[in-house]
Structure 1
Amino acid sequence: MSTLREVLEKHVHDGPVPGAVGLVARDGRAEVLAVGGAGTDDGTPMARDSVFRIASLTKPVTAAAVMTLVEDGRIALDDPVAPWLPELAEPVVVRTPDAPADDVVPASRPITLSDLLTSRAGYGFPSDFSLPAVRLLFDELKQGSPQPRGVLPPDAWMDTLSRIPLLSQPGREWLYNTCSDILGVLVARVAGQPLPEFFAERIFAPLGMNDTGFAVPAEKLGRFTGLFRPGADGGVELVDAPAGQWSAMPDFPSGAGGLVSTADDLYAFARMLLGEGTLEGRRLLTPASVRQMTTDHLTPAQREASGLFTEGQGWGFGGSVDVDTTAPWNVPGRYGWVGGTGTTAHIVPATGTAAILLTQLEMTGPTPPLPMRDFWQYAADA
């Protein structure tokens, strides 16, 4: 069996990944390793506390924030969201997926909180990004790769969303990404405070996630990594430097992909989900709420039609759930997700396992790249 060092160095020293931090833990004991460089001009080496753009690993955090409001009794899973999101009070749906965006019919029922948590509200990405209603998500809402400085503020963003039709009727189809951004706006409105403040107060401070947020303060920029994409001839190209997009608070704090974090902060979040982290003797979320988050809510037909799940996965709240062992690294019940910036974090509730891999090399599509697959295999075998 390979060691964690061998798994990481295979893709850093012998491959295109500039650097990586890997963490694999079971029963509260963590193995952590940093290899390579942070991808900065001064040649800073990668470190355990290096800060990364975690992209879609934001989604489980947003789902957890929603569940704190559910536990507070401020909103329920079956509640329509229109009282807080009046922009979605009268949604319309394109008549067929490939229809023009103005060829619409009324939605068959209101959008509920459960629809948003399971990404089945009717907004988001199918396998075909060229559909007219989907193109509007990219062109008008700037959905896709995180661009903190290029997105409208929440109220203007929601006003724009209100003029974009649903791609499918509420509850019918799993569609990626957009529902988590809507949830971020919903959390702020239900809580009556900006999303970064709510996350800091209800999630980050209680769990000791001191390096997680929607921007990197000046005193921490020395630990912030560069972001790269695969370039020509096996090399890499810089996408964003430490002093770039995440060096100031964005107008739109993205609940789908806006956070930065570290391996240890994400491990603190994972330990909370595993029931190992407590707050003065009580859990951040009840076991029942965690079970709801980490349980697959899709039908077999919805999993089959999703277009993005090809390796035995369903979807919980904010993350995927392994439902079979199609891939050798799948573990039934494994919950978590991947980030397009080259990040991945999962837990296995049955074994108390957490596995976190942070790199700075963007994914080129929905299929997880080889470094993630090798890391998952190592974690499954550990």
Structure 2
Amino acid sequence: MKIAKPDKLGFDGSRLARIDALLKERYIDSGKLANTQILLARDGEIVHFGSQGPAREGGKPVDEGSLFRVASMTKPITSIAFMMLVEEGKVAIDTPVHHVLPEFKDIGVFNGGGGDVPFGTLPTAEPMRMVDLLRHTSGLTYGFQYRSNVDAAYRAGKIDNWHGNHDLDGFVGALARLPLEFSPGTSWNYSVSTDVLGAVVQRVSGLPLADFFATRIFAPLKMHDTFFAVPADKIDRLTDCYAFVPGANGSKGGRVMYDRGAESLWANMPKLVSGGGGLVSSALDYHRFNTMLLNGGELDGARLVGRKTIDLMTMNHLPGGSDLSRMSKSLFSEAANAGTGFGLGFAVNIDVARSMIPGSVGEYYWGGMFSTAFFVDPVERLTMVFMTQMSPSSTYPIRRELKTLIYSALT
């Protein structure tokens, strides 16, 4: 790995050093996190790469070969896959979802019921369109939201269980038998929308989703360490994964083992291939994806989408130019609501002042449930990948802290 001198790329090296110091003192030494890894780049050149802590309990430190469950950082990759098909003229952003997934043709909106009482429904005001899947205005939800009778039905049916009863087609069929929480386009809710988008990619392309990713995205970008199931010859590089349980484990700050790298569920291909959250990757691989985005859809001669497609994806597509603080019904997402719009697969910074974090208008980003995160700032030509493995991602304000330190190091 080549790491550029900070002053060459417009950074103060002593201020960049604050990043690793904060991560060590506040998170590693305190036991809150087992490990951290951060990659910062400008114009595609890596300017800072820091790794701390063991990859596995009692094992060697994390390094550039370590693999992490990136969870919802899968979503932008699925969104790019869909836009590749749009560019081929096989589907459009405003195509009604039921034109590709006919299971959704007669889906209605919740109007009472749940549990032992049959759901009542009302017709949707407008059909669910592909744009609603891309920007999470579909009316779908997540079982872990714990806010409605609809998400309770997701949990009862284990609909979004990757190792459960459903493959991707069965998942779509099960969802279509339940009502939407709201009429598409009227609200924003973090949801299985991108998993449904993965089913769209699979049906439109005629390829299994994992094969489309492997052949059309990962191979051209040389992302050789990104997959839905970790190959046997790479499983030794998969890090341990933790969950936060308040009051548990004393000095380890409440972290308990969630998935042990040596015995991981991610060693086996799931029945439900999740375009919303299933991937494992490395910081270097995701850096290549970020750089492709920053370059307008191209990396090292491999073009996935056109420059104007990236421009379109990273605009705010919420109706009426709204933001999440006004449209969100979600109890949880990977974005702060204030000053945040949503594009076609990414949260988008539309008001830096309201976010109260340094940044740029037009910066886009997302994260994963295990506290991983990335952002792309096309104004400063700056990208970041942050890796760790702690669920939920709301446990610590680490993303806000990292952004503050990163932007404060620019000269």
Does TM, scored on the shorter chain, surpass 0.5?
Answer: yes
Correspondence for 1:222 = 236
Deviation at 1:149, TM superposition (A): 2.2
Asked if the contact 2:323/2:340 (under 8 Å) is kept, the reply is: no
Correspondence for 1:44 = 60
User: 1:264 and 2:284 equivalent?
Assistant: yes
* Residue aligned with 1:62, SS: helix
Deviation at 1:239, TM superposition (A): 0.6
Q: Separation in 2 of the partners of 1:323 and 1:127?
A: 28
User: 1:81 and 2:81 equivalent?
Assistant: no
Partner letter of residue 372 of structure 1?
R
Asked if the contact 2:314/2:348 (under 8 Å) is kept, the reply is: yes
Asked if the contact 1:97/1:168 (under 8 Å) is kept, the reply is: no
Correspondence for 1:238 = 257
Partner letter of residue 112 of structure 1?
R
The partner residue of 2:126 within 75, 100, 109 is 109
* Residue aligned with 1:82, SS: helix
Query: Quick one: structure 1 residues 227 and 127, their matched pair in 2 at CA, closer, same or farther if it must change by over 3 Å?
Result: closer
RMSD (CA atoms): 2.3
Correspondence for 1:209 = 223
Q: Separation in 2 of the partners of 1:368 and 1:65?
A: 31
- Unaligned runs of 5+ residues in structure 2 are 1-14
User: 1:8 and 2:8 equivalent?
Assistant: no
* Residue aligned with 2:357, SS: coil
* Residue aligned with 1:32, SS: strand
Partner letter of residue 176 of structure 1?
Y
Correspondence for 1:20 = 36
Deviation at 1:294, TM superposition (A): 1.3
Query: Quick one: structure 1 residues 312 and 164, their matched pair in 2 at CA, closer, same or farther if it must change by over 3 Å?
Result: same
The partner residue of 1:342 within 371, 378, 383 is 371
TM-score, with structure 1 as normaliser: 0.92
Correspondence for 1:315 = 342
Asked if the contact 2:113/2:120 (under 8 Å) is kept, the reply is: no
Q: Separation in 1 of the partners of 2:387 and 2:127?
A: 38
Query: Quick one: structure 1 residues 96 and 294, their matched pair in 2 at CA, closer, same or farther if it must change by over 3 Å?
Result: farther
Partner letter of residue 312 of structure 1?
G
Deviation at 1:108, TM superposition (A): 2.3
Query: Quick one: structure 1 residues 217 and 281, their matched pair in 2 at CA, closer, same or farther if it must change by over 3 Å?
Result: closer
Q: Separation in 2 of the partners of 1:141 and 1:158?
A: 13
Partner letter of residue 371 of structure 2?
G
Deviation at 1:360, TM superposition (A): 1.0
Correspondence for 2:357 = 328
User: 1:178 and 2:205 equivalent?
Assistant: no
* Residue aligned with 2:312, SS: helix
Correspondence for 2:407 = 380
Partner letter of residue 209 of structure 1?
M
Per mean C-alpha deviation after superposition, the further-off stretch among 206-215 and 323-332 is 323-332
Q: Separation in 1 of the partners of 2:96 and 2:359?
A: 35
- The percentage of aligned residue pairs carrying the same residue is 33
Correspondence for 2:8 = none
The partner residue of 1:370 within 377, 397, 405 is 397
Query: Quick one: structure 1 residues 304 and 237, their matched pair in 2 at CA, closer, same or farther if it must change by over 3 Å?
Result: same
Partner letter of residue 378 of structure 1?
L
Partner letter of residue 154 of structure 1?
L
* Residue aligned with 2:405, SS: helix
Per mean C-alpha deviation after superposition, the further-off stretch among 31-40 and 160-169 is 31-40
Asked if the contact 2:323/2:342 (under 8 Å) is kept, the reply is: no
Asked if the contact 1:328/1:377 (under 8 Å) is kept, the reply is: yes
Q: Separation in 2 of the partners of 1:350 and 1:78?
A: 29
Query: Quick one: structure 1 residues 138 and 295, their matched pair in 2 at CA, closer, same or farther if it must change by over 3 Å?
Result: farther
